[in-house]
């Protein structure tokens, strides 16, 4: 349904995308997971024809985006990070305005507006001005407006940033429902829990490149680790760190904490503790973490997903 090949985009001197490729099957929810500035919005903006790439091929629903953007647009709905709503209008009038841009007969459009407002739990508030809505409610209306043309493909750019848990859950439920009904969804996020819950396949993106992709299970089993042992020390120095790094390849340091990655926690835990104790390190805390998208990202980039 979506084929992206070697996508590149430079803004002035910033190389936002350095050659991104992926394929998404019909009915799949594909997650682009990465920290701020990784290139997620640029990717979505190019796929939704809002930004032109410098290089690369994009095929959407069998149509070449670069030669036929107007045809591509008919197949897509876009949920941008910025809310595209008129505060002084009611939610209903906002949807009527945005829906009016599509080629949908008015009675059909009105039926779709009612349907999507019910889907997002806002039917009772449909005549209230958007300025009286909470951030989460505005976000829900923003998503509703992207569904009015019944797109085959929905692009969602970090749709849950900064909203309340109730709205977030409702958005999750809607995404799950749309996916069950066969919609193809591209969902960007820097929350690993969202990618784990919603996405059939995930592309981990950092610094303009996809550094790993696959199902959650494939990503978890592809590296040389199953668990991470996170140890905090009261007296960790650069010399201690170097001494341990000589013995331990899969190792990261964050301030007073070392992260050891291992396939064999049973065998390795005692070795790690023995080594630390032999070089005079004083342990204040030990955490053992099962591998997840956060630890995979950390081990691939040396950075935390959220703090960057």
Ligand X SMILES: Nc1ncnc2c1ncn2[C@@H]1O[C@H](COP(=O)(O)OP(=O)(O)OP(=O)(O)O)[C@@H](O)[C@H]1O
Nearer to ligand X, 38 or 146 (CB): 38
Alpha helices (H) in 147-264, listed in sequence order: 165-180, 192-198, 216-222, 238-247
Nearer to ligand X, 117 or 146 (CB): 146
- Is 11 among the residues that bind ligand X (CB under 6 A)? yes
Nearer to ligand X, 15 or 93 (CB): 15
Query: Could you tell me the smallest distance in angstroms from the CB atom of residue 184 to ligand X?
Result: 20
Instruction: Write the CA distances from 300 to 99, 138, 297, integer angstroms.
Output: 43, 36, 5
Burial, 177: exposed, middle or buried (Cβ in 10 Å; 0-12, 13-18, 19+)? exposed
- Is 37 among the residues that bind ligand X (CB under 6 A)? yes
Query: Could you tell me the smallest distance in angstroms from the CB atom of residue 7 to ligand X?
Result: 11
Stretch that binds ligand X, among 18-26, 38-46, 66-74, 235-243 (CB under 6 A): 38-46
Selected from 24, 30, 41, 79, the binder of ligand X by CB under 6 A is 41
Alpha helices (H) in the chain, listed in sequence order: 40-47, 69-73, 91-99, 106-119, 135-146, 165-180, 192-198, 216-222, 238-247, 265-278, 293-301
Buried b / exposed e over 239-274, threshold 16 CB at 10 Å, is ebeebbeeebeebbeeeeebbbbbeebeebbeebee
- Is 306 among the residues that bind ligand X (CB under 6 A)? no
Structure tokens belonging to residue 3: 């084929």
Stretch that binds ligand X, among 18-26, 40-48, 174-182, 194-202 (CB under 6 A): 40-48
- Is 42 among the residues that bind ligand X (CB under 6 A)? yes
Nearer to ligand X, 99 or 203 (CB): 203
Residue 189 near residue 195 (C-beta atoms within 8 A): yes
Query: Could you tell me the smallest distance in angstroms from the CB atom of residue 94 to ligand X?
Result: 24
Nearer to ligand X, 40 or 140 (CB): 40
Nearer to ligand X, 34 or 136 (CB): 34
Selected from 14, 25, 111, 288, the binder of ligand X by CB under 6 A is 14
Selected from 40, 139, 168, 179, the binder of ligand X by CB under 6 A is 40
Residue whose structure tokens are 């505005």: 138
Radius of gyration in angstroms for the set of CA atoms belonging to the chain, rounded to a whole number: 23
- Is 50 among the residues that bind ligand X (CB under 6 A)? no
- Note the residues at the interface with ligand X (CB under 6 A): 11, 14, 16, 34, 36-42, 158
């Amino acid at each position: 349904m979506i084929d992206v090949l070697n996508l590149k985009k430079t803004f002035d001197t910033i190389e936002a995308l350095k050659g991104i490729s992926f394929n998404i099957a019909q009915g799949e929810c594909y997650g682009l997971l990465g920290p701020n500035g990784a290139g997620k919005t640029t990717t979505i903006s190019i796929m939704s024809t809002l930004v032109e790439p410098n290089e690369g091929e994009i095929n959407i629903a069998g149509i070449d985006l670069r030669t036929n953007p107007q045809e591509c647009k008919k197949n897509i709905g876009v949920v941008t990070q910025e809310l595209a709503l008129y505060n002084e209008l009611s939610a209903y009038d906002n949807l009527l305005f945005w829906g009016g841009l599509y080629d949908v007969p008015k009675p059909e459009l009105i039926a779709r507006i009612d349907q999507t407002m019910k889907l997002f739990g806002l039917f009772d508030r449909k005549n209230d001005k958007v300025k009286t809505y909470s951030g989460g409610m505005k976000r829900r209306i923003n998503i509703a407006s992207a569904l009015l043309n019944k797109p085959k493909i929905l692009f969602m750019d970090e749709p849950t940033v900064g909203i309340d848990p109730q709205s977030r859950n409702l958005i999750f439920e809607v995404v799950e429902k749309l996916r069950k009904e066969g919609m193809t969804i591209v969902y960007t996020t820097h929350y690993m829990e969202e990618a784990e819950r919603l996405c059939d396949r995930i592309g981990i993106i950092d610094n303009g490149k996809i550094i790993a992709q696959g199902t959650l299970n494939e990503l978890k089993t592809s590296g040389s680790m199953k668990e991470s042992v996170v140890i905090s020390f009261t007296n960790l120095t650069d010399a201690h760190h170097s001494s341990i790094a000589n013995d331990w390849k899969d190792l990261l340091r964050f301030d007073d904490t070392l992260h050891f990655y291992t396939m064999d926690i049973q065998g390795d835990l005692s070795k790690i503790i023995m080594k630390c104790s032999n070089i005079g390190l004083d342990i204040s805390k030990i955490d053992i973490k099962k591998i997840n998208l956060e630890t995979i990202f950390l081990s691939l980039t040396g950075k935390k997903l959220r703090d960057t």
